[in-house]
Amino acid sequence: MNSRVGVKCDFIKDERLTDLDMNNTLNDVPPIRRSMDLNSNQFGDLLIELCKAVNMCIVNGRSGMPGDKGSYTCMTHNGESVIDLVLTKYSNFKFLKQFMIHDYTEFSNHTPVSFRLKLGIVEKRETTHRIIYNRWNDEHKHAFRNDIFSEIGNLNSLLDDSDISINDKVQTFSQVITDNADKYFKKNVKCTNNTFLDRSNDRKKWFNEECIEKQRIYKTALGQYLTHRNTKSLNRLHQLKREYKTCVNRAKKTFNRDRCREMNTMRRKSPREFWRMFKTNKNNSVNEISNEQLCEHFKTLAQDHNTPDDDIEDFLRDFDEHDGNSTYEELDFPITSDEVLKACKTLNRNKSPGDDSIINEYLIETCDLLIQPLTTLFNIIFESGQFPTTWSNGIIIPL
């Protein structure tokens, strides 16, 4: 509002402001308000009338805290003034623990204004949780391969048993892999969410030596002005502040440009490191969505889009008429070991597992041992025409 109120009275005299009893340590009439700025303007007069109308007082200059003498809060080419004000009901003064007008900084023409309040004890909400995940470690590679090698006979017996359903074979096969892998690669980590994210390290990356030197010169000029307030030192302070801000903006721009280039290269060559940069500590939300609500949402997601489509109906009708007649004869041949081996070798590392907790590294590092059981399993599924139920399960993570 740019309100300059000077030392004008901001409450109605001879009127009770606190509704407190006589035993309270807070007097009913606010103390005299001090201010270094003795001038006022039209906006200040409007603010004074507002304070009187809503029974509020200006804290600046009357908080009773050491050093609170109504210091200046704004500095421009026209001089200094007090326009950054804290307003509250006078009855709230008893909760005021600290009030301070800080020195000018390089970031603004206005001084920071801070205060502390006496509050009751609030129970801290527990934000600790555990994360279970699987991560490959080359140190346990040989031990894991030895365990898988010892299970080859059991896997072959499982696949040869015609009394076991395909779903059970797939589930047992996956269970054998994970049981032998969990003791080496399964991690159970305790995590605690932090409320604040410290970005001081990011600031140090762009805050180079030139910025440090410009900041030092500016702070020296600021100290000289606060000691000897005159027009010459004020003009010099403004000039050095502009130079400092120009230097900071240039350093930020250069850093961000180089960082974007680095991220673009990282996204293509090292995607895991790229996505790790975006991980932040998140607070547990008090309005978490339950699994039941999430499930119901996806059940009803497509209900409004069930309008018949002629193209889809034609495709399904044509598919039913030609059921069993393969368009590509080469797809009717059994799956070979070379195809399975090639597929395993092309799997990407550092990928999240599915519902079975099998990460790609398990198959990449043991495909030479599991090549025969895997080939047999895939051909059983292929010949039966039955897709395993567990392979239809997916993990949905709302963002």
pLDDT grade for 322, boundaries at 50, 70 and 90? low
Query: Which residues have CB under 8 Å from 191's CB, separation 6+?
Result: 128, 129, 130, 131
Shared domain for 109 and 5, answered yes or no, is yes
pLDDT higher for 360 or 273?
A: 360
Query: Quick one: pLDDT at residue 196?
Result: 41
Distance CA 76, CA 104 (A): 12
Residue 382 lies in a domain: no
Query: Quick one: pLDDT at residue 323?
Result: 58
pLDDT grade for 325, boundaries at 50, 70 and 90? low
Distance CA 229, CA 104 (A): 13
pLDDT grade for 241, boundaries at 50, 70 and 90? confident
Shared domain for 100 and 210, answered yes or no, is no
Two tokens, residue 83: 């326009």
Last residue of a domain, one of 104, 121, 138: 121
Shared domain for 110 and 222, answered yes or no, is no
Residue 259 lies in a domain: yes
219 is in which domain, residue-wise?
Answer: 200-276
Residue 182 lies in a domain: no
Question: pLDDT (tens digit, 9 = 90+) per residue, 191-210?
Answer: 765 544 444 454 567 888 89
pLDDT higher for 149 or 285?
A: 149
Total domains, the chain:
2
Say if residue 233's pLDDT is above 90: no
Mean per-residue pLDDT of the chain: 82
According to DSSP, residue 330 is labeled: G
Say if residue 14's pLDDT is above 80: no
Determine the average pLDDT of the residues in 14-26.
47
DSSP H or E segment with residue 157: helix 152-160
Last residue of a domain, one of 276, 294, 312: 276
> Tokens 């994970």 — which residue?
178
Question: pLDDT (tens digit, 9 = 90+) per residue, 140-178?
Answer: 999 999 999 999 999 999 999 989 999 999 999 999 999
Query: Quick one: pLDDT at residue 197?
Result: 41
Last residue of a domain, one of 276, 305, 325: 276
96: phi then psi, degrees, rounded to nearest 5? -80, 120
Using an 8 Å Cβ cutoff, are 111 and 74 in contact?
yes
Residue 291 lies in a domain: no
Two tokens, residue 316: 């399904």
Determine the average pLDDT of the residues in 117-140.
75
Shared domain for 211 and 104, answered yes or no, is no
Say if residue 376's pLDDT is above 80: yes
| pTM of the model as a whole | 0.48
Residue 48 lies in a domain: yes
pLDDT grade for 124, boundaries at 50, 70 and 90? low
Query: Quick one: pLDDT at residue 15?
Result: 57
Shared domain for 6 and 103, answered yes or no, is yes
Residue 109 lies in a domain: yes
Write the single-letter amino acid at 250.
Answer: R
Residue 159 lies in a domain: no
Residue 348 lies in a domain: no
Say if residue 18's pLDDT is above 60: no
Alpha-carbon Rg for the chain in angstroms: 36
Shared domain for 3 and 107, answered yes or no, is yes
